[in-house]
Structure 1
Amino acid sequence: MKELPPFEIAKTRLSPLEKIGQFFMPAAFINDTEEEIQTLETLIRDHGIGGICFFHSRASAATNFEGKKEVIRNEESFETLKSLIKRYQSASKYPLFIAIDAEWGLAMRIENTPQYPYAITLGAFTGKEELIYEVGKNIAQDCLAAGIHWNLSPVVDINNNPNNPVIGYRSFGDNREQVTKKALAYIKGTESLGVLTSIKHFPGHGDTSVDSHLGIPVIDKSKKELLENELYPFQKIISEGIDAVMVGHLSVPALANGTETPASISREICTDLLRGEMNFKGVVISDALNMHAVSKIHPVPGELEWLAFHAGNDILCFAEHVREGIETIAKNSTLNQLEETFERVWKLKEKAMGNPYHHKFTELSKSAALNRKIAEESITLYHGNEATINTFSKKNFCTFTLKQPKGNPSQEDILSFLEEAKQETKQEKNILLLVTPPKVKPANHFGFHQEEIDFINSMLEEKNVVLYHFGNPYSLKLFSAKKSLATVLVYQDFKEFQDVATEHFLGKIKAHGKLPVSLK
């Protein structure tokens, strides 16, 4: 990889437009066509781009969040990623930042790579922060094995809105102290191998009921309320030291002089609050600028990029209009504004490129043992007691598993399956019910068909049921879980979590976890 010149030399070597190019981080897609790859190479070569952020494919990118286009599975994604990183680095005059969202591991974007538990699972145990440290460290190892410098994680939003369509399982919970502690453990684990982090989504995306990929969430709280809750983890972590803060596309009038200007393009929020009042000295990065919360209201090429930069963002993530953005920023910015931003970006790049762990990891991490420990700590008795489960396990019972087959089963398939299930369970009194939500996000009842919900609720009403739930606990709101003999939250459907659930049912281990959010 090309050498990165020290800051003082870079200041004189880079042209004004090349410096502005360093502020841009367009999207790169692992499953692009050769033509699309060459287009990005040209963009990097011609405009001095500072970095790229990897996504799986254009169909899986932010604005396709609810799966409107088919996402094609690519078993060779990891090898393709490594190859593309080398190729894009070769096209660049100076080393590129390589970033990715890997909140629960590279598996968030890349097939056949280690997956670690969601933040909500890590939020289900108290203490044992060393396990979360190890998660951060293992994910950092996987980033390094790919050639990635920057994991745009963790989420430090306090998820205090059960109807949140986009944060939910990505948050450590609804308690500000727990969110802060767990985020710091994750950050320190990541930093232990020199991989950069970024806390998000400033000033706090937890109490929203709109997905900012698709629209503008508005948080109508007083500044005092925000300082006591939403802003609390950000301030604590900033005080401890953090590489970057990602600003979200959400309107918070109390922080923006009463206007509904999205935080990502609000100078009052990015500069006056974050840099001024909260004393953040690091790099500010925008959330993806293709997201509809901002892209639809600023469609003129270059306008959104300028507004985000002028607000105080140093790095413009998923900028779609690079050439026009560079031109508009060059035209409108002061020299002082440009130099201050360039200094922050280049200093962080020096830190990333100087990481002594680069090239020391070529193998992906091993997730099984760590996931097993987390499963043991997180399993949660939500309703009932373990004595009831122990008594039930010694009776004659029927095991019924509700887990949709892979793909998109039709309504007809679901109805046929449920009709068979009704006949099979008709004469049964005692049922061990294993439920895995089809989706982790809440849209469309977490992927459940209404007939499935009705069937489970009738079973809970009419039978003696012990329920084990393997997924986002918010989906439990669809069911009358309190009518079960006992309900146990397992959070994930990995093999390690299934094994722990089996051992719990057999009375070999106790449930120590605690639900980290309210289901009310």
Structure 2
Amino acid sequence: MNKVIPTTQALKQLSLTQKVGQLFMPAAFINDTEEEIQQLETLISEHHVGGLCFFHSRASAATNFEGKKKIVVNENSFDTLKNLIKRYQKAATFPLLISIDAEWGLAMRIENTPQYPYAITLGANTENKDLVFEVGKQIAKDCKAAGIHWNLSPVVDVNVNLNNPVIGYRSFGDDKHNVVSMATAFVKGIQSEGVLTSIKHFPGHGDTETDSHLGLPVIDKSKAELVENELFPFQKLIDEGVDSVMVGHLSVPALTTNSNLPSSINKDIITGVLRNDMGFNGVVISDALNMHAVSKNYSTKGELEWLAFNAGNDVLCFAEHIKEGIQFILKNASETQINKSIERIWQLKEKAITENNSQTELTDPSFLNRKIAEQSLTLYHGTAAKIAEFTTTNFCTLTIKRFVTDQTKQAILDNIVEMKKEVKNETDILLLLTPPQIKPTNKFGFFDEEIDFINELITTKNVVLYHFGNPYALKFFKTDQTTATVIAYQNFKEFQDVATEHFLGNLEAKGKLPVLLN
């Protein structure tokens, strides 16, 4: 890989066309065909793109958020990722800034890599910022082992809307002070390893009910309300010193004279609010420009890329029309405008791209995950005494979980019929519940029949419920009628072990649910 030349030298040495190419960060996919890989290599060498954002496959990328296409499993994902990064760096005239969304580790995008807990789980560790720092640090080590310089996280959205379809578990919670505390620790952990971060999704995606991968969410609040809540974490972290801010695709009428223009391409919001009002001088990166909240409104190739740049974005993430975008920007932007962005981008490159990287092995998340499981386990309803009393009964254990992904609906419904027979004469039930999916679409993957069955159990039996997954899924269940409900947040073995220890009375539940469920 070529060495990063100093910023002052880059500003003199690069041609204007090369500088504009540096603004672009197209998507790269680890499951691409050889033909697609070569096309990206050509794009890098011919148009001097500045960086890449890695995704698992085209089927799992932003606009396929609802999973319409089948996702291919690649057992050697991590090696593929490392080899592709080396190939793409070789194709580049100037070193590429390599990024990925690793909010809970490389596992967010790359299978068979370390997975750390979701932000909502970390948010339940209200007294343990040191553990959150360690999570950031470990994730950064994994990024370095892959050749990644920039972790596009954390999410600092304050998730105050329990019907939020896209943030939810990715947020540290609904309390702005807890969000700031956890996000600061996470950022400092990542930075301690020399990896870059990006706080997102400015100006705040927490109070929305539309998924911006699919449509444009509207946040209809006054500017005073936004400053008080949504903008609060961004301001606090900017004051602490962050590398970059990612701007989301949101309609925020109170911050602009043009409410039809999404925040990601809105000069009032990026240049006016983020740069001028909030004093942010670092790199601004757009959320993925292929997301339907913006992409479906601009049919002229290159126009969206120009609008995003002109509004104040330095890095155009997941831009799909690079050749045309370069032409649009060359035609419309001033040299001063281009140089300002290049200076900011190049300073990030100088900071993050080093030739000496001793990190080659992936981390082992097990020990840290166990510690987080112990600190986050939350007694949501009932008391420890009630659970202790329950353990003396002749209880029956019932596990509701999808053990195979290709199970048919009929097989699942048949299973419910069997379970009904099993528990017919039981009075005390230990229910171990894992929602079929982490995302809230289609009731977290539950069928209505499953929800009805679980609620029937709760209302007719003595039920102690342990929940291994996104706590927002509990809104479908009558938890107030259980003997006790305990939230374990993740279905990792470490969290299951801690839940077992808690049930046996060997551990106290120390966590605090970081969101309201009603």
TM-score interval, normalised by the smaller of the two chains: over 0.9
Structure 1 residue 506 corresponds to structure 2 residue 504: yes
Distance between the aligned counterparts of 2:494 and 2:506, measured in 1? 15
- Correspondence for 2:203: 203
Task: Within 5 Å, give how 1:62-461 maps onto structure 2.
Answer: 62-257=62-257, 259-354=259-354, 358-461=356-459
CA distance, structure 2, for counterparts of residue 136 and residue 441 of structure 1: 23
Deviation digits for residues 388-433 of structure 1 (CA, Å, limit 9, x no counterpart): 0001011100000000122132121011111110111111110000
Are the aligned partners of 2:16 and 2:335 in contact in 1 as well (CA < 8 Å)? no
Give the aligned residue type for 2:310.
H
Per-residue displacement from partner, 1:6-58 (whole Å, max 9, x unpaired)? Answer: 11221222110100000000000000000000000000000000000000000
CA positional deviation for 1:127: 1.6
Is the CA contact (8 Å cut-off) linking 1:144 and 1:361 kept in structure 2? yes
- Aligned-residue offset at 1:180: 0.3
For the residue of structure 1 that corresponds to 2:463, the secondary structure is strand
Q: Alignment partner of 2:197: what SS?
A: coil
Q: Distance in 1 between matches of 2:40 and 2:66?
A: 26
Matches of 1:198 and 1:487 in 2, distance apart? 36
> What TM-score do you get using the length of structure 2 for normalisation?
0.99
Shift of 1:258: 5.3
**Cα distance in 1 for residues equivalent to 2:238 and 2:77:** 35
Tell me the amino acid that sits aligned with residue 338 of structure 2. L
- Equivalents in 2 of 1:259, 1:122: separation in Å? 35
Q: Secondary structure at the match of 1:361?
A: coil
Q: Is the 8 A contact 1:218 1:260 kept in 2?
A: no
2:53 maps to what in 1?
A: 53
Matches of 1:426 and 1:117 in 2, distance apart?
37
Identity of aligned residues (%): 65
Shift of 1:260: 2.9
What residue in structure 1 maps to residue 477 of structure 2? Answer: 479
The more displaced of 332-341 and 149-158 is 332-341
* Distance across 1 between alignment mates of 2:205 and 2:473: 20
- Residue 510 (structure 1) shift: 0.6
SS state of the match for residue 350, structure 1?
helix
Distance 1:272 1:68 in 2: 38
Equivalent-residue separation in structure 2 for 1:471 and 1:508 (angstroms): 22
Read off the aligned partner of 1:516 and give its amino acid letter: P
Post-superposition offset of 1:299: 2.1
Is the Cα–Cα contact under 8 Å of residues 270 and 311 in structure 2 kept in the other structure?
yes
Instruction: Name the CA distance, whole Å, in 2 between partners of 1:260 and 1:463.
Output: 52
Amino acid at match of 1:221: K
Does the 8 Å CA contact 1:143/1:151 hold for their aligned counterparts? Answer: yes
Amino acid at match of 2:226: L
Which blocks of at least 5 consecutive residues in structure 1 are unaligned?
A: none
Please give the per-residue CA displacement for 1:111-131, whole angstroms capped at 9, x wherever unaligned: 111100000000012121000
CA-atom RMSD in angstroms: 0.8
Q: Which amino acid aligns with 2:456?
A: S
Kindly provide the CA deviation profile for residues 277-320 of structure 1, in whole angstroms up to 9, marking residues without a partner as x: 00001000000000000000112110000000000000000000
Task: Please list every run of 5 or more consecutive structure 2 residues that lacks an aligned counterpart in the other structure.
Answer: none
Deviations 1:300-359 (A, max 9, x none): 1100000000000000000000000000000000111111111111111111114x8x42
User: Match for 1:466 among 464, 477, 480?
Assistant: 464
CA distance in 2, matches of 1:130, 1:397: 39
CA positional deviation for 1:4: 1.4
Letter in 2 for 1:37: I
- Distance (Å, rounded) in 1 between the aligned partners of 2:404 and 2:108: 18
- Number of aligned residues: 518
> Which whole-Å CA distance do the structure 1 matches of 2:369 and 2:210 have between them?
32
Equivalent residue letter for 1:4 = V
Partner Cα separation in structure 1 for residue 134 and residue 299 of structure 2:
42
Q: Answer yes or no: is the 8 Å Cα contact 1:253–1:261 preserved in 2.
A: no
Structure 1 counterpart of 2:50, which letter? Answer: G
Q: Secondary structure at the match of 2:429?
A: strand
User: What is the rounded CA distance, in whole Å, between the counterparts of 1:11 and 1:340 in structure 2?
Assistant: 10
